[in-house]
């Protein structure tokens, strides 16, 4: 059997790493092994956000790199389809495996089906209901075309049933992202928070990085007190009024309560400079601006953060398993299993500052409570591979 796995952007890397290890383990145990090829579309062209993750997660170099690079959604999808079509025709795989919901996921699932190759979607069935999100379009199309839909939670399986997907196409396997978290947790735990801050701080900051000290409100004795922040979605950073409002709250309230560590997405940094927020951020006491972090550094900070503020779906999931109280700066989520009403650690606050402030104050009084949804056990990749073999 020949399988081509596809990655295109950083969220894919944490999902494909355990699948590759599952294939390697299968090949060691079976004489009739699986021929596996990894294709990187090159959708994330930023070296710091791509190559470092491959190295950190022990992902082998891609067998084929399509070098698609930046561009509009249409450009990325179109160029990926043209390049991937040649790969499929030359390699003649039995399966194409796509993960997540980036443009590469959509483009390669469409190409696979046009070439009459079976397609498996890992992390199928996620739905936000928000058609303004490009990722939602990618999810819908990919799930409609795929032959095998492997879901991370029971809510996602039910979404597919409601859309009329045949039961034999749907299998609940658990969350493959958590495989990576569990595999990398020991390595991350040994990292020094202070060293992470020192080596990744934006050098232009005039305010020195604060010393992390114990605080009486910490949930664990001698635990540091700090907030962790990520922001990158256009709905939060592309509009001056919205981004300025969020920034003012962070600078005048959160950063006064505790150290606020903010790894900067390139899009957020660009907009801060464009909207006149950059110099204010550099000079803000308590606000520690960081370069984009590697996987282990980010995981280490999340392990002890007093609170997470993010618009990232993956960090919602990690915060649930780690128990980090999480404010999700979105009005909807494709991962409702992470929300407090479903037993998770996250609450939706959108980008309304009054709403963010209200939940921020309420959350500071909450206890850290790790939650593990069903089959988020670190063994999902093996189940994914077995379902492909059984199909």
State mean pLDDT over 12-24: 95
Angle 335-341-344 from CA coordinates, rounded to 5°: 55
Helix segments in 201-265, DSSP class H: 234-237, 240-249, 255-257
- H or E segment at 21? helix 10-29
Q: Are 253 and 243 in contact (CB under 8 A)?
A: no
Strand partners, 4: 37, 96
pLDDT at position 218, please?
A: 39
Overall size of the chain counted in residues: 391
pTM of the model: 0.93
Q: Are 12 and 122 in contact (CB under 8 A)?
A: no
State mean pLDDT over 305-312: 96
CA separation, residue 171 to residues 69, 158, 341, 350 (Å): 33, 11, 24, 32
- Matching fold, domains 2-175+376-390 and 182-364: yes
pLDDT at position 217, please?
A: 38
Q: Is 232 a catalytic residue?
A: yes
Residue with tokens 């709905």: 235
User: What pLDDT, in 10s, does the model give residues 189-228?
Assistant: 999 999 999 999 999 987 555 555 444 333 444 456 899 9
Selecting from 3.40.50.2000, 3.10.20.30, 3.30.70.270, 3.30.70.20, what CATH number does the domain 182-364 have? 3.40.50.2000
Task: Enter the DSSP assignment of 59.
Answer: P
Residue 283 scores a pLDDT above 90: yes
User: What pLDDT, in 10s, does the model give residues 333-380?
Assistant: 999 999 999 999 999 999 999 999 999 999 998 888 999 999 999 999
Domain ranges of the chain: 2-175+376-390, 182-364
Helix segments in 71-153, DSSP class H: 73-91, 103-114, 134-145
Round to whole Å and give the CA distance between 153 and 336: 10
2-175+376-390: what CATH class?
A: alpha beta
In our burial notation (b when 16+ CB lie closer than 10 A, e otherwise), range 350-381 reads bbebebbeebbeebeeeebeebebebbebbbb
Among candidate residues 44, 73, 232, 391, the one labeled active-site is: 232
User: What pLDDT, in 10s, does the model give residues 134-144?
Assistant: 999 999 999 99
């Amino acid at each position: 059997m020949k399988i081509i796995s596809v990655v295109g952007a950083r969220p894919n890397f944490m999902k494909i790493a355990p699948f590759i290890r599952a294939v390697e383990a299968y090949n060691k145990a079976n004489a009739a092994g699986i021929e596996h090829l990894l294709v990187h579309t090159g959708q994330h062209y930023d070296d710091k956000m791509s190559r470092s993750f491959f190295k950190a997660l022990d992902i082998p170099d891609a067998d084929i790199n399509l070098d698609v690079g930046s561009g509009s959604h249409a450009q990325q999808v179109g160029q990926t389809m043209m390049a991937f079509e040649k790969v499929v025709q030359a390699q003649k795989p039995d399966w194409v495996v796509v993960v997540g919901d980036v443009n590469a996921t959509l483009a390669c699932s469409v190409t696979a089906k046009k070439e009459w190759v079976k397609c498996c979607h890992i992390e199928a069935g996620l739905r936000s209901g928000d058609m303004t999100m490009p990722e939602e379009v990618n999810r819908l199309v990919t799930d409609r075309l795929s032959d095998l839909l492997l879901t991370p939670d029971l809510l996602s399986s039910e979404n597919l049933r409601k859309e009329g997907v045949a039961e034999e196409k749907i299998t609940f396997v658990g969350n493959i992202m958590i495989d990576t978290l569990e595999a990398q947790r020991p390595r991350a735990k040994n990292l020094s928070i202070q060293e992470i801050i020192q080596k990744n701080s934006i050098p232009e900051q005039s305010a020195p990085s604060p010393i992390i000290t114990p605080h009486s409100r910490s949930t664990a004795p001698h635990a540091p007190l700090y907030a962790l922040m990520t922001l990158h979605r256009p709905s939060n950073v592309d509009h001056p009024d919205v981004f300025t409002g969020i920034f003012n709250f962070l600078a005048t309230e959160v950063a006064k309560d505790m150290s606020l560590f903010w790894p900067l997405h390139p899009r957020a940094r660009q907009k801060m400079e464009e909207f006149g927020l950059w110099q204010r951020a550099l000079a803000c006491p308590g606000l520690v601006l960081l370069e984009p972090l590697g996987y282990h550094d980010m995981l280490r900070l999340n392990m002890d953060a007093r609170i997470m503020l993010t618009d990232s779906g993956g960090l919602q999931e990690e915060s649930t398993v780690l128990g980090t109280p999480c404010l999700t700066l979105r009005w909807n989520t494709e991962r409702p299993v992470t929300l407090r009403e479903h037993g998770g650690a996250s609450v939706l606050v959108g980008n309304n500052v009054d709403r963010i402030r209200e939940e921020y104050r309420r959350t500071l009084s909450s206890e850290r409570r790790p939650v593990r949804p069903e089959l988020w056990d670190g063994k999902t990749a093996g189940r994914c591979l077995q379902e492909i073999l059984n199909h």
